[in-house]
Structure 1
Amino acid sequence: MKASPLQKGDKVGVIAPASPPNVENFNKALPFLKELGLEPVIGKHLYEKNGYLAGKDEERLADLHDMFRDPEIKGIICACGGVGTGRIVSDLDFGLIGRNPKIFWGYSDITFLHTAIFQQTGLVTFHGPMLSSDIGLDSVPEWTKKSFDQLFGTEDVIYPESLSTIETLVEGKADGAVVGGNLTLLVNSLGTTHEIDTKGKLFFIEEIDEEPYKVDRMLNQLKMAGKLSDASGIIIGDFKNCDPVKRDRSLSLDEVINHHIIPAGKPTLKGFMIGHSSPSFAIPFGAHGFMDTQDLSFRIESGLRKGS
C-alpha cells in the first residue's frame, strides 16, 4: 500500500513521536517545508517535554493519530528521533492508519514505527532526514534536501554513485521489500509483536554513537535470531561515530561487521549515506528494491502510488 504524492500547497503534519526537538534547529528548518510549497501543521504536543520524551506517551500518540485522521493532512514528517517510539507502538491504531494511507517520514528511533506500520498495514513509509536533526543544522548538504523530492514524484529511487564509495562484502544480486533501519531499534524489536521480518527482504542497517563491542552484540543477536540468514540481501548504511573509545583494546568496526555479515552469505553492499550521515539519503521503507554488487547499484521502486 502506497500513499499519493504530495502537491504544492498540501498540508503536512509535523510531530515528535519520540524526544522533543531542538527548538532553535526546528524553527530554522520549518521554512524549508514552505520552500517546498508545503504548509506545515504542528502537532499539538510537539513542544511538550517529559524528561527525554516529547510529552506523555498518550500525547505523542494522539498527535500521530490526529495527523492520520485529518483528511487535510497529506503527509506526516517527524521533527526528530531520540527515544520513546517503542513506548507507544503497541497502542497504535493500525486500522486508522490503514484506512488513511499517508506519507510517513523519519528515521533513527522512528525505525520502530516504520517496522510496525509496514508489517501491520502494508503501508510504505520513508526512512529519511528530519527537520530538527538534519534540515535545521547550520550546514545542510544538497543531497539531504534533494531527498525530499521523493515526496512529489513516482520515479524509482536510485542511490547516486557519486554520493559515496560503495564496497562489496559479498557478491551477488538480490531483490525484495526494503526493510531495516537503526540497529539498536531493530534489536529492540526482537521478541515483540513487532519483531522485524527480514525473510526474502533487502535488509538495511545503520547506527550512531555505538562502539564496536556494542555493535558486535547487536549484530550477533540479529544473527542468532536468523535475521541475517533470512534476508535476500544486506545494505549497510552509515555507522556514525561508532569508533572504539571506552576500551584500550578493540576490534575495529569493519572487523565486527565483516565477522557477522560475510558468513551469512547474502549479497552485501556497504558504504551508503543512509541514516545519521551527512548527507542523509532517504529511501522508501517497504518498497521493492534491487541490488547488484557487479555494478554496485541499489535501486528502489517509488514509495508513492502512481496514477490517481
Structure 2
Amino acid sequence: MIQPAFLQKNDTVAIVSTARKITLEEIQPAINLLKSWGLNVEIGKTIGLEENQFAGSDAERVTDFQKMVDNPKIKAIWCARGGYGTVRIIDKLDFTEFKKNPKWIIGYSDVTVLHSHVHNLGFQTLHATMPINVESNSENALSSLKSALFGESISYKITSSKENKIGNTKGVLVGGNLSMFYSLLGSNSSVNTNGKILFIEDLDEYLYHIDRMLMNLKRNGYFNNLKGLIVGGMTDMHDNAIPFGKNAKEIILDAVSEYHFPIVFDFPAGHLNDNRALVLGRKVELEVSTNKTQLKYI
C-alpha cells in the first residue's frame, strides 16, 4: 500500500465536509490546533453550506473535495464531521490526480466510505478524530493524530478485556465504522479482508442491527481468512422492548465463534473522546495476552 508523504511544518491541510453540515465556528478549535502544529489551513467551501442535513448539495460537496484532491499544495484532507452523505458522492470523484500526488485523507464514521474506496486504489488513509470533536477529544487522541501525520512512531498498549481472544497475528489493517463497511458490500468500495486485520466500531445502533450486519459479513466470507479482529467503541447501543438477549460483545463473539483469530475489545478508537489514530492500509502486529493488548506498526 502506498503511503502519502508525512507532513512537515508549513504544509497545508484542507478541511471539508463530505457529509453533514457544519459551521466555521464549530471547526475553529481544529483550525487553532493545526496552526499550533505549524500547519496552514485551507477551508473548503462546504464549511457553512447547508442543504437540509448536508453540507451543501451533492454537486457542491463533490466540487469541494475534488478541488482539494487536485491541488498539489494540499497535503492532507481532514473531513470535518461524519453523519451521512459521503456514499452519495464517492462515485462522482476522480482520483486521477490523487494517484499521482497522494495525500492523507483523515476522519472516521461516515468517512469509512473514503477509507475503503481509497484502500482499493492502493493507498493508506488515516482513521482518526475530526474537527467537530477536537474540543472534547483526549490529549492521547490528538497527540496520536499529530504523530501519525508527521511520521512519528505510533503503537498502542492497553489493558486486555476479559472477552478478548488470545493470540498473536500480523496483517494489513482495514475497516472503520461497521454500518458503513456493511453498506459498501457488493460495491467497488468494498474491501477484501483476506489476510487482513479488521477494525470495527459503531454508534447508536440497535443490537439486532449489529447482529444482522455481522451475519451478512459472515455470509459474504469476510471472516474466512481474517487474521484478527479489533473492536473499538460500540457506543450507545439500543435494545428493543423484547430484549435481543446479547450485548454487542456477545453478538460479535457469537458471529465469529467458529474462527480462531485473535479478537480485541474496547480498543480506544471510534465514537469516543479517546479516539486514537489508526493508519489503515499499513501492516500491523497484534499481540493479545490475558493482561495486555499491543498494536504496533511494522
- For Structure 1 versus Structure 2, the TM-score category normalised by the shorter chain is over 0.9
| Counterpart contact for 2:7–2:151, Cα < 8 Å | no
| Mapping for residues 140-151 of structure 1, pairs under 5 Å | 140-151=137-148
Offset of residue 270 of structure 1: 1.3
| Counterpart contact for 1:12–1:38, Cα < 8 Å | yes
Distance 2:5 2:231 in 1: 29
Aligned residue for 1:227, secondary structure, equals coil
Aligned residue for 2:46, secondary structure, equals coil
Offset of residue 170 of structure 1: 2.6
Offset of residue 77 of structure 1: 0.7
Q: Tell me, yes or no, if structure 1 residue 126 matches structure 2 residue 115.
A: no
Distance 2:38 2:120 in 1: 31
Offset of residue 165 of structure 1: 4.6
Number of paired residues? Answer: 294
Alignment match, 1:185:
180
Aligned residue for 1:204, secondary structure, equals strand
Distance 1:147 1:167 in 2: 26
Q: Tell me, yes or no, if structure 1 residue 257 matches structure 2 residue 252.
A: yes
Q: Deviations 1:121-165 (Å, cap 9, x if unpaired)?
A: x11110000001x10x3x43111211222244334421132xx65
| Mapping for residues 201-280 of structure 1, pairs under 5 Å | 201-244=196-239, 246-251=240-245, 252-280=247-275
Larger deviation, residues 53-62 vs 100-109: 53-62
Distance 1:146 1:88 in 2: 31
Offset of residue 22 of structure 1: 5.2
- Structure 1 residue ranges without an equivalent (≥5): 302-308
Alignment match, 2:282:
287
| Mapping for residues 4-15 of structure 1, pairs under 5 Å | 4-15=5-16
Aligned residue for 2:224, secondary structure, equals helix
| Counterpart contact for 1:229–1:266, Cα < 8 Å | no
Q: Deviations 1:21-72 (Å, cap 9, x if unpaired)?
A: 2554323332111111111101122221112211111211121121121122
Aligned residue for 1:53, secondary structure, equals coil
Distance 1:2 1:167 in 2: 35
Distance 1:22 1:14 in 2: 11
Two-structure CA RMSD over aligned residues (Å): 1.7
Distance 1:258 1:113 in 2: 28
Q: Deviations 1:161-214 (Å, cap 9, x if unpaired)?
A: 2xx654553332221110000000011010112112111101110000012111
Q: Tell me, yes or no, if structure 1 residue 55 matches structure 2 residue 52.
A: no
| Counterpart contact for 1:207–1:238, Cα < 8 Å | yes
Distance 2:263 2:237 in 1: 20
| Counterpart contact for 2:66–2:94, Cα < 8 Å | yes
Alignment match, 2:108:
107
Larger deviation, residues 195-204 vs 139-148: 139-148
